[in-house]
Amino acid sequence: MPKCPASVVQLGQMIIATSLLASCAPDDAGPVAAETSAPAVTVTSSGEPEDCVDVTSNAAYTECFRQLAISARAEADAEMAKARKMVVAADEEYSRYAPDSLTADDKTQLARHLARSQENWLRYADGQCELEATAARGGSGTDTLRQKCLLRLARLRLAELRHAEALIDGNR
């Protein structure tokens, strides 16, 4: 059975829970505060997750995106660690083919490019999210826009790393 990333499992659990709860009548326990409930996720007609749609207060809405962004970034960081191991192994394997004809730079080419790519991505993400947050001109949506950007870019980076890993693995 294939292993699923924790974020996919969490998303599935939230969708199932949302479906189950939608079919239930509320009991006498009263409403649950948005700040204490799990981030709300629904799926758009295109099948993409639409995050935090059921959160009503501005602070809770921002916090929902902050938590999702933290989780997505942790997943991307874990994937980066996996990619680092993969490129080191690929560089070592490549170096065995012609050990005397390769320079030190040739022997670590993938690892260097992955590190440079990550450094550049981090700078890009900081700048892009600052740009998007500035659109609110310091208003109440500033941090929400920043968190949405961080979430979107962390998910994108995760996909990029997985794509690069597939290319590297396919060439071994």
For 132-163, b/e burial (b = at least 16 CB within 10 A) is bbeeeeeeebbbbbbbbbbbbbbbebbebbee
Task: Please check whether residue 161 lies inside any domain of the structure.
Answer: yes
pLDDT for position 23:
43
The more confident residue out of 157 and 98 is: 157
Task: Please check whether residue 36 lies inside any domain of the structure.
Answer: yes
Is the Cβ–Cβ distance between 124 and 112 less than 8 Å? no
Task: Please check whether residue 15 lies inside any domain of the structure.
Answer: yes
Total number of domains in the chain: 1
Task: Please check whether residue 86 lies inside any domain of the structure.
Answer: yes
The pair of structure tokens assigned to 65 is 């995106």
Amino acid of residue 17: A
| Residue 148 in this model has a pLDDT that exceeds 60 | yes
What average pLDDT does the segment 94-114 reach?
78
| Residue 149 in this model has a pLDDT that exceeds 80 | yes
Task: Please check whether residue 1 lies inside any domain of the structure.
Answer: no
CATH number of the structural domain spanning residue 51: 1.20.1270.180
Residues 25-37 pLDDT 10s? 444 444 444 444 4
Residue 65 domain boundaries:
6-170
3-state secondary structure the chain: CCCCCHHHHHHHHHHHHHHHHHCCCCCCCCCCCHHHCCCCEEECCCCCEEECCCCCCHHHHHHHHHHHHHHHHHHHHHHHHHHHHHHHHHHHHHHHHCCCCCCHHHHCHHHHHHHHHHHHHHHHHHHHHHHHHHCCCCCCCHHHHHHHHHHHHHHHHHHHHHHHHHHHHHCC
Task: Please check whether residue 94 lies inside any domain of the structure.
Answer: yes
pLDDT for position 107:
73
| Cα separation, 74 vs 71, whole angstroms | 5
Confidence of residue 172 (pLDDT cuts 50, 70, 90): low
Confidence of residue 92 (pLDDT cuts 50, 70, 90): confident
| Residue 78 in this model has a pLDDT that exceeds 80 | yes
The pair of structure tokens assigned to 137 is 């001109």
Task: Please check whether residue 116 lies inside any domain of the structure.
Answer: yes
The more confident residue out of 49 and 151 is: 151
Task: Please check whether residue 135 lies inside any domain of the structure.
Answer: yes
